[in-house]
């Protein structure tokens, strides 16, 4: 149950983060290529102090330190993946804005599709139980109806 909640919160905060576009922190390194990579990585990471912001967006002290660490590690030649692993090792999967697909996050990733499938199943079941539409009137009734209608229109004309 708590796992489910974590997943739910992750999904919600991810959605919110798309809406929020705070002021980006000013780049520090002179090298724009490096800075671009720092930004790309830190945008994937959640700031643990203000949890709805990425490390790239946040002005929290810790986020600034972590940005510096990322910058330093890139300068040392570490790969993006190594840096992400470094963060996950310390702060857990919680830092990832894109939670990895694993047994504890299956509900998060596949839950919506499960709900959709459930919805379709329910709809199918409901439709199959629906009473068939009333049959068309027998020919004799139709004829009588036509006669009555014809008669009424004639009386209208005559008056």
Partner 1 sequence: MKRVLLFLIPLTAFLLLVVFLGVGLNRDPREIPSPFIGKPAPNFTLTQLQAPDKTFSPKDMEGKVWLLNVWASWCVACREEHPVLLDFSKLGVVPIMGLNYKDGRKEGAETLEKLGDPYQLSAFDADGRVGIDYGVYGVPETFVIDKHGVIRYKQIGPVTPEVISEKLLPLIKELNRA
Q: Which is nearer to partner 1, 90 or 144 (CB)?
A: 90
Q: Which is nearer to partner 1, 125 or 156 (CB)?
A: 125
Q: How far is the CB of 23 from partner 1 (least distance, A)?
A: 22
For 97, list phi and psi in degrees, rounded to 5. -75, -20
Q: How far is the CB of 159 from partner 1 (least distance, A)?
A: 50
Beta bridge partners of 45: 96
Q: How far is the CB of 91 from partner 1 (least distance, A)?
A: 5
CA distance 69 to 28: 12
Cα–Cα nearest to 41, from 102, 2, 115, 95: 95
Binding site residues, partner 1, CB under 8 A: 1-2, 5, 8-9, 48-49, 51, 61-62, 65-66, 69, 88-94
Q: Which is nearer to partner 1, 61 or 157 (CB)?
A: 61
Beta bridge partners of 54: 46
Which residue has tokens 């790239």?
Answer: 56
Q: Which is nearer to partner 1, 85 or 147 (CB)?
A: 85
CA distance 134 to 56: 64
Q: How far is the CB of 18 from partner 1 (least distance, A)?
A: 19
């Amino acid at each position: 149950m708590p796992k489910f909640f974590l997943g739910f919160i992750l999904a919600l905060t991810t959605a919110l983060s798309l809406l929020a576009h705070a002021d980006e922190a000013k780049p520090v390194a002179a090298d724009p290529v490096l800075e671009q990579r720092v930004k790309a990585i830190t945008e994937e990471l959640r700031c643990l102090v203000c949890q709805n912001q990425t490390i790239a967006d946040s002005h929290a002290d810790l986020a600034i330190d972590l940005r510096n660490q990322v910058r330093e590690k890139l300068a040392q030649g570490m790969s993006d993946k190594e840096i992400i692993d470094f963060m996950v090792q310390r702060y857990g999967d919680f830092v990832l804005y894109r939670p990895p697909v694993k047994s504890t996050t299956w509900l998060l990733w596949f839950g919506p599709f499960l709900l959709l499938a459930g919805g379709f199943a329910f709809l199918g079941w409901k439709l199959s139980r629906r009473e068939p539409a009333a049959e068309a009137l027998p020919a004799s009734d139709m004829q009588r109806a036509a006669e009555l209608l014809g008669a009424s229109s004639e009386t209208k004309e005559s008056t």
